[in-house]
Amino acid sequence: MTEINEQEIAGDFSMYFGPAHPGSGNFSIKVEMRGERVLKATADPGYLHRGFEKLMEYREPMQNAVLSDRVCVLEPLQWNLVHAEAVDYLMDYEVPERAKYIRVILAELSRIQSHFIWYAAMSLGTGFMTGFNIAIGYRDYILDVLNLITGGRVYPAGYICPGGVRKDLPEKAENKILELLPKIEYMRKFALKQNPAWLARFKEIGTLTKEEAIKFGAVGPILRGCGVESDVRRDDPYEIYDELEFDVPVMDEGDAYARFTVGMQEIEESMKIITQSIDRLPKGEVKTPNLKPIVQFQKAEGEIYIRNELSRGEGAFYMVATGQKTPYRVKIRGPSFTHMIPILEHLLTDVAYADVPAIYWSMYQCPADVDR
Amino acid sequence: MSSNSKNISLEEKLIKNLNSKLGVPINFQKERRLWTSIDSDKIVDICTKAYEMGFEHLSTISVTDWLEEGKHELVYHLWSYSYKLLLTIKTKIDRKNPNISSINSIWGANAETCERECHELFGVKFEGNPNLTPLFLEDWEGPPPFLKDFNWREYVKEEMYDQNNPREEVYFEVKK
Amino acid sequence: MKLGIVIEIFKNVFTKPMTVLFPFERIEIPERNRGEHEFNIDTCISCGACARICPNLAIKMIEVPSELREKYPKTYPQVDLGKCCFCALCEDICPKGSIKLTTNFYFATFDKDDTILYPVKAE
């Protein structure tokens, strides 16, 4: 690595990548350049800081369920699930079996549409507009089904609430979900096509070794792309994941292409999970019987750290209740937090500027859960 | 059922093992969740030992502000890829003098970033962390905003409230 | 490989596009869609539960205009759509089903005051 002496050479300068760049999200990186090389990058988050952790201390659990969608735009249902599980533990709610299955089906649908967005963002970042349009179009089919079930296309507004889910599945929703699967499979194959331009942009770019990945706290597809077989759904099972059969795809290369391929292979596993859960979907209640319309932590005391496998990796809620109406302290661990600050800064040292978008989008960024 | 009981006995063994190696009492919360409470000056020592034992993944660092007690509680969540267990290390520091040593010798930039966040939002100082610059808040001059005694209603009313907009009034009425 | 692309192109020529021509055709909006509120003042019992649960404080219990006060003496919810997050918690908690979220989501307006939904419209 070269030392940066300020303005020693005419070609030395620093500039911002983002936040107004299309697709970079509300996030920017200050890059220090020498000619075409990036010498050092400094992440600059905070454009989307909404103070959720503080805000949740002033709201009751049911209202927080609505708020928890907003942690990340791309995977609101899964954040709903993490929050609901934390409250379930603290309030001792026994979640009915049917609700657990519905939760899992929706979380996996949410994971698939989030992976489509990943493909869309990577295409957009590298100038492949066709890929972007197709992925967003196919994501819309999933959003239609989510709208049918939860009542909102993107935000379910606390559909997965403490103690179960807010409403049972509507009629024929199972068929609608099963009709989606061939479309998802088509899109997945499209994304995995061996495109020479795609390979040239992403192969052997932004390589992360196994040791570095663990030390920097990488999670999810980023970690599995480096050859570590770790999935919260399998290692720390929640809901009904321990009863379902699915594989954990792993690749050893650790470059941008490996991370992306792992993500696309996960779609297949998610489809397996959806088919299995719909096959076994039991009948019955979807809410725990002792759920009151207004949930308060009046009798609950204690704390819990709930980890879930979101589409980006491990997302967690740390919640402390002290017997007040509202939680005493909430800490949200977004999976992108470690990806976007320490790992991105590490990967963006001494690379060509043309590779910055490829590395940036291969980290599966979501600025919303960095800032919270 | 049998596999479940087998797991629990394995965990009991592991707890004994951890007890002797870390030298602190380990408590069992629920399946795959262990926690321990230690003195703040031993944090680097215990974290190093835990890292060497296989708790390799620093999930997050969180701060709880116990206002009545006059203490900040720092919570370190460590996950082990080999044991598939979460170890929560808790330590309390004085609220008026919130100093603790940084664990960046173990987790490097990852720990530094988590500590930057805690420093910005709670004002906890991490000795040995060279990079405690603000992360989220830009041009913030008020007290650390996540402290329990920070009155955000007053602050917002003084700094950014539009007095001419009656529709905003409802946010400043304190609910019982 | 190359032939596959040709086949795909021909397939796409004869299939319907993913999008619809918006003002003339519209996609079907499901029953559960959370849109504008529909309030039935005659069944409302003025319990205030909707104002209590609203996470964004968008619902306020107000009195009706003076000429209608004889018929509706209590306080009734007024929804500020500018603050509303369309979570439908008010719909879930309402004991009488007086407040409902409809499939209407066309909210664009030129006047800010149009975004407030009054319980009854004064003549």
Q: Which of C59, C62, C83 to probe the B interface (max B CBs under 10 A)?
A: C83
Q: Which of A147, A176, A193 to probe the C interface (max C CBs under 10 A)?
A: A147
- Cβ A46–B138 below 8 Å, yes or no? yes
Helices (H), chain A: 52-56, 61-68, 76-91, 97-125, 129-150, 173-191, 196-202, 210-215, 220-224, 232-235, 256-280, 336-338, 344-347, 356-362, 367-371
Residue A6 has pLDDT above 60, yes or no: no
User: What are A118-158's pLDDT values in tens digits?
Assistant: 888 888 888 888 888 888 989 989 998 988 888 888 888 88
Place of tokens 């196919």: A138
Interface size, chain A vs chain B, as Cβ–Cβ contacts under 8 Å = 85
Instruction: Give φ, ψ of B27 to 5 degrees.
Output: -110, 155
Query: What does each C-alpha distance from A124 to A114, A191, A234 come to in angstroms?
Result: 15, 13, 33
* CA Rg value for chain B: 20
User: What are B54-108's pLDDT values in tens digits?
Assistant: 888 888 898 988 888 888 888 999 888 888 888 888 898 888 888 888 888 888 8
Q: Is B37 on the interface with A (CB under 8 A)?
A: no
CATH number for the domain running over A62-349: 1.10.645.10
> If pLDDT is split at 50, 70 and 90, which confidence band does B5 have?
low
Region A355-370: mean pLDDT is 85
- Cβ B167–C83 below 8 Å, yes or no? yes
User: What are C62-121's pLDDT values in tens digits?
Assistant: 888 888 888 888 888 888 888 888 888 888 888 888 888 888 888 888 888 888 888 877
User: What are B10-48's pLDDT values in tens digits?
Assistant: 777 777 777 777 777 777 778 788 888 888 888 888 888
Domain-by-domain residue ranges, chain A?
62-349
Higher pLDDT among residues B165 and B112, named by residue:
B112
| DSSP character string of A190-224 | HHTS--HHHHHHHTTSS---HHHHHHTT--HHHHH
- Cβ C55–A140 below 8 Å, yes or no? no
Shortest alpha-carbon distance between residue A166 and chain B (Å): 26
User: What are B144-174's pLDDT values in tens digits?
Assistant: 888 888 888 888 778 777 777 777 777 777 6
- Cβ C57–B167 below 8 Å, yes or no? no
Q: What is chain A's mean pLDDT, rounded?
A: 85
The predicted structure's pLDDT at residue C122? 58
- Cβ B110–A49 below 8 Å, yes or no? no
Q: Which of C52, C57, C114 to probe the B interface (max B CBs under 10 A)?
A: C57
The predicted structure's pLDDT at residue B109? 85
Q: Is C112 on the interface with A (CB under 8 A)?
A: no
ipTM of the complex model: 0.84
The count of other CB atoms within 10 Å of the CB of residue C36 is 17
C105: nearest CA in chain A?
Answer: A152
**Which residues of chain B does C115 touch, with a Cβ-Cβ cutoff of 8 Å?**
none
Alpha-carbon span B172 to B166, nearest angstrom? 11
Domains and CATH numbers, chain C: 27-117 (3.30.70.3270)
Find, among B159, B145, B148, the residue nearest to B69 by Cα. Answer: B148
Higher pLDDT among residues B1 and A259, named by residue:
A259
Q: Is B57 on the interface with A (CB under 8 A)?
A: yes
Alpha-carbon span A146 to A79, nearest angstrom? 15
Give domain B2-142's CATH architecture: 2-Layer Sandwich (3.30)
Region A179-207: mean pLDDT is 84
Domain-by-domain residue ranges, chain B?
2-142
User: What are C46-65's pLDDT values in tens digits?
Assistant: 888 888 888 888 888 888 88
**Which residues of chain B does C80 touch, with a Cβ-Cβ cutoff of 8 Å?**
167
Q: Kindly list the residues of chain A whose beta carbon comes within 8 Å of any beta carbon in chain B.
A: 45-46, 49, 51, 53-54, 89, 214-217, 219, 228, 230, 235-236, 304-305, 307, 314, 316, 318, 320, 328-329, 331, 333, 337-338, 341-342, 345-346, 371
